[in-house]
Structure 1
Amino acid sequence: IKGLRAGGDDYLPKPYSFAELLARVEVLSRRRGGPAEDTLYRVGDLERDRLSHRGARGKDELTLQPREFRLLEYLMKHAGQVVTRTM
């Protein structure tokens, strides 16, 4: 109650399902009126789905660690750009 009165938009008590959390985040982003961020990245035949945490190259599914997926996502967001180690 304190969080909602302090300006919070929603409350999700534990335990909760990840699917419900994602649905609530999508609803909140629509409420803001801004464009929703893409959840599927494609560069050539390489695909990365942020919602299902899956990746594929052609017909082959990628088996990567969470950090590797985050790095892949970053590189895909910046495809065609020079990405430094610091970035």
Structure 2
Amino acid sequence: MRGQVVRPPGPDPRSGGTGTPVPMSGDPVHATDLGGHMVATTATAPGGQFELTLPPGTYRITEDICGAAQQVEIRSGTTTSLTLTVANAC
């Protein structure tokens, strides 16, 4: 699966003030299965992108600093894409 971690546009200086989402680099990201077991971990690249190799199944993908998370379904033979948006307050 492929994804990106971003901060939404807003008045917070970390948001860039540009009106477009700002990529978050170096943020740890992990995947847990439905049993709550961590099955993969990585960190975001300079553009906020990350990749996790997961077998088919349902997972919760979490950005570890601010806690942005989303559940995803991984299917065989496909690439799942996801954007995690962290809160400006974080």
Structure 1 and Structure 2 fold alike (TM over 0.5): no
| TM-score of the superposed pair, with normalisation by structure 1 | 0.22
Select the structure with the greater relative contact order (CA < 8 A; seq sep ≥ 6). Answer: 2
- Computing the radius of gyration from Cα coordinates, the structure with the larger value is 1
Structure in which a larger fraction of residues adopt strand: 2
Structure in which a larger fraction of residues adopt helix: 1
| TM-score of the superposed pair, with normalisation by structure 2 | 0.22
